[in-house]
Amino acid sequence: MFDLLAESPQDRVRLCGPGVSRREFLQVGSLAAIGLSLPQYLQAKEEGSVKPADDRRSCIMIFNLGGPSHIDLWDMKPDAPSEIRGPFKPIRTKSNAFEISELLPRHAAIADKFSLVRSCHHDGAAVHDAGWQMMQTGRRFTGGIQTPHAGAVLSHLKGRRTDLPPFVVLPQLMGRGGGNLPNGQAGGFLGKAHDPFALMADPSQKNFKVPDLLPPDQIGAHRLERRRKMRDIVESSIAQFEASEDARLMDENFHAAFRIMTSQKAREAFDLTREPLKVRERYGMNRFGQCCLLARRLVESGVRFVTINTFLTVFDEITWDIHGSKPFTSVAGMKELVCPMYDQAYSALIEDLSQRGMLEDTLVANLSEFGRTPKINPAGGRDHWPQCFTTYFAGGGVKGGRVVGASDPIGGFPAERPVNPGDIVATIFHSLGLNHASHLPGPGGRPFTLTDLGTEPIRELFT
């Protein structure tokens, strides 16, 4: 395997005082395009915001696109009037701290491994896209400035571990949400160098392949020749840099494309046929189940951040968006289709990570753009409700079996320990070991720190 970042003692060159390795040069090359100079990089490294590349903590973010009903699933109100409590009953769980819905029996069996945050809220518009932005980045987009996804921030500060990208979205980026707003799944003001690698395929399909990872015998002579030329360009550019302090720094996007296209390890990580059939069936032979399995394989192979979109859009498919009547999902659709699929895949992921000894080093964050209205609507469903909803976390240093915060008696507003999107993103950063004083190159040269994106982590999850 041709490793662009392989380094030896003779690879180190003298720049701006301290020796800078080829690996560091390539990292800085990606930052230069978005406004971070080499001296700024070296200062950040000295301050500890650039961590060693071999740290093990990763994140799998499951984004429950559509907005699940917290009252029907994780924050039930059995003593409320029928138009509030809904048709489902709470059941006991393996945690003594909480009950959850009868619709999630497999969750109940592993409730000692995850903890609920029942007091989430935000002040954004009650449209899907607005919530997608805020919950994945910590901020509402204003003034044309797009804040980076938490995975893009991790990519910027820590870079890649292996040939695989540092930040991956499965199975593809979010589609339309109705508000015609950016969805928050991009590098934002950090630049396209930190956009995620989007799979753009359904891993549950029989002939699933990632087109850019086809083995050489399936690529053809023309594409192979193009790859050889790319390699020559890379080597030439590195030689120019080592010969001159003023040479232009290379573009990280070019690097990433070359590495992943030529990597046997990347092909193997995406190859679900390497998993025993009984493991694949445990996750569920559907798109979401196989994405969860693929996320485990990617983290195991060195990917730092994987986001799984439970669904792709709120239109023309069964989702968490249970308004109750077509073209949206009914409560019966949630009960019979969505919950069984979701319950199976999530529990399989947590059990698999635990059995493999990976859960402590993998934060699994289950988020959504909002919850659902406390009162059932005339169609028998529930509508958008950002004023109060539930998220939950497992692994990555989180203590399982706990509840943080509480909603009021009808699940309408936080009653204890309100938690906002910035707190959620700060919690992810905290689990990943990022220094909250770390600097980011903000738009227009404005300095940003992680505390500008997130506020205060939910420390009760970790103590």
* CB count in 10 Å sphere of residue 228: 10
Record the tokens describing residue 87, joined without a space.
Answer: 């048709």
> For residue 77, what are the domain limits?
56-210+270-461
CA angle 139, 141, 146 (to 5 degrees): 100
The pLDDT mean for the chain works out to: 85
Residues 389, 120 contacting (CB under 8 angstroms): yes
Terminal CA-to-CA distance of the chain, rounded, Å?
43
Question: Is residue 304 domain-resident?
Answer: yes
Residue 3 CB neighbours (<10 A): 11
Residue 274 predicted with pLDDT over 50: yes
Report d(CA 428, CA 268) in Å as an integer: 28
Q: Is the pLDDT of residue 202 over 90?
A: yes
Q: Please give the biggest Cα pair distance in the chain.
A: 76
Structural domains counted in the chain:
1
Instruction: Classify residue 12: in a domain, yes or no.
Output: no
Residues present in the chain in total? 463
* pLDDT score recorded for residue 213: 64
Sign of CA dihedral 350, 356, 359, 362: negative
The answer to whether residue 229 sits within a structural domain is no
| CATH number of the domain within which 331 lies | 3.40.720.10
Residue 48 is assigned to a structural domain of this protein: no
CA distance 334 to 322: 7
Q: How far apart are CA 283 and CA 78, in angstroms?
A: 31
Give the tens place of pLDDT for each residue, 189-199: 999 999 999 99
As a whole number, mean pLDDT of residues 109-136 equals 98
Dist. CA 345–CA 121, nearest whole Å = 26
**Of the listed ranges 108-112, 241-245, 386-390, the one predicted with least confidence:** 241-245
Q: Is residue 259 part of a domain?
A: no
Residues 6 or more apart in contact with residue 378 via CB below 8 angstroms: none
Digit-coded pLDDT (tens) for 160-181? 999 999 999 999 999 988 888 9
Phi and psi at 399, nearest 5°, equal -85, 125
Residue 242 lies in a domain: no
Flag whether 25 is in a domain: no
438 φ, ψ (degrees, to nearest 5): -60, 140
For 337, half-sphere exposure in the C-beta direction (CA atoms, 13 angstrom radius) is 16
